[in-house]
Amino acid sequence: MTTILTAGDHFVLNSLLVDRLRTAAPTATYRELTLPWPVEPFGDVAEVREASGTEEQLITALRGVDICVTQMAPLTERVLEASPDLRLFCVSRGGPVNANIEAATRHGVAVCFAPGRNATATAEHTVALMTAAARRVPATHADLAAGTWRGDYYMFEKVGPELEGSTVGIVGYGAIGSRVARILRGFGAHVLVADPYARARDVAPDELTDLADLMRRSTFVTVHARATPATEGLISRELVDLMPTGGVLVNCARGSLVDYDAVCDALDAGKLFGAAFDVFPREPVPADSRLLTTPNIVMTPHLAGASKQTALNAASIVASEVAGFLAGEPLAHCANPEVLARLQ
């Protein structure tokens, strides 16, 4: 008999996970643990990042458990040492940052994840932020809600660019970036792409370029690269300075990718028209952050992927992985596939 722990939270609910899993593993025994995210922000837990809950909670819940399905639970060295029955740890998010992959491999635990689960939601949010920054939507709404009719925003020097006819640079052309491109082409924008892996994907030859050229030519720039040591500070001060005057920069990927001080300086100097961020160097944003006082920055609290479809997709993807694992089939998205040969 297989025992499965669903360690859900207030977004990817245990009820969603169990509903999908019962089809994949109808004879399994189920246990549930509810983690506090997003009521409480995620953070570092021991050696893993972006986790919710504690090692003690998970160690207790994993006693006698074969498979754990979660979004945010911390799979650490300590948790692994205390969970000898665990064979599969499914992370229902785009990357298993809350799992110690090296330790899991040593302990013989396969780790899978759910890439693309929030691709549509994040792409739609990205375009919404672009238009919100270009049309000053938050500022004009706040003025109107406070009883002030700001007709001066119609002055030529205060209006922003349109997407139609503009060049939009997309940094990273994976599941999200490619969807953003598809939406923007529908707006009538000219798309440029900078991604060293994009040549094998469906990118027109005139759309593919290097990062510096993209920054130099793009009125709008949107970042969709994955956060790695190699991409930290990818959008540097030098690249921000290359953007055309009146440009708009958007980041819905990770805060580590962009030099935020450089963006604030460019906005203060009038070099950039606007910026929009869903992710930040520190989350929550500190009260003394320049981002809170620099003009024409649109901000949302790391919720670009927050849609009902994202949560449903996440549950469906990991349930499919559990079904394949129990059937002895290869996993579609395994971070350490070498473990599978030892388990099956």
What integer pLDDT is reported at residue 114 of this predicted model? 97
Q: Is the pLDDT of residue 201 over 70?
A: no
Active site residue 141: no
Which tokens hold the place of 266?
Answer: 């460019």
The one catalytic residue among 125, 179, 254, 333: 254
Q: Where are the domains of the chain?
A: 3-117+307-343, 119-299
Q: To 10 degrees, what angle do helices 119-134 and 308-326 make?
A: 160
Q: What's the pLDDT tens digit per position in 277-328?
A: 999 999 999 999 999 999 999 999 999 999 999 999 999 999 999 999 999 9
Read off the pLDDT band of 200 (50, 70, 90). low
Q: State the catalytic residue, choosing from 302, 321, 329, 333.
A: 302
pLDDT tens per residue, range 215-254: 999 999 999 999 889 999 999 999 999 999 999 999 999 9
Residue whose C-alpha is closest to residue 312's, from 15, 79, 4: 15
Dig out the tokens for 199 from the structure. 């040549």
145: three-class secondary structure by DSSP: helix
**Using one digit for the tens of pLDDT, what is the confidence trace for 257-274?**
999 999 999 999 999 999
Please state, for a pLDDT cut of 90, what percent of the chain lies above it. 94
pLDDT score of 341: 80
CATH fold, domain 119-299, is Rossmann fold (3.40.50)
**In whole angstroms, what is the distance from residue 56 CA to residue 74 CA?**
10
pLDDT of residue 203: 87
Q: How confident is the model at residue 335 (pLDDT cuts 50, 70, 90)?
A: very high
pLDDT tens string 25-71: 999 999 999 999 999 999 999 999 999 999 999 999 999 999 999 99
pLDDT tops 80 at residue 342: no
CB 275 within 8 A of CB 76: no
pLDDT at 162 exceeding the cut of 80 = yes
Rounded distance between C-alpha atoms, residue 23 and residue 338, angstroms: 27
Instruction: Give, in order, the Cα–Cα distances in Å from 124 to each of 40, 180, 186.
Output: 25, 7, 13
Q: Which two tokens stand for residue 282?
A: 């520190």
Same fold, 3-117+307-343 and 119-299: yes
Could you confirm whether 342 is annotated as catalytic? no
d(CA 69, CA 56): 17
pLDDT at 71: 98
> Which of the following CATH numbers is that of domain 3-117+307-343: 3.30.70.150, 3.40.50.720, 3.40.50.1360, 3.40.50.150?
3.40.50.720
d(CA 250, CA 28): 44
Active site residue 49: no
Q: Phi, psi (5° rounding) for residue 227?
A: -80, 115
pTM of this structure: 0.91
Q: Which is the catalytic residue, given 22, 77, 283, 290?
A: 283
CA dihedral (276, 280, 283, 288) positive or negative: negative
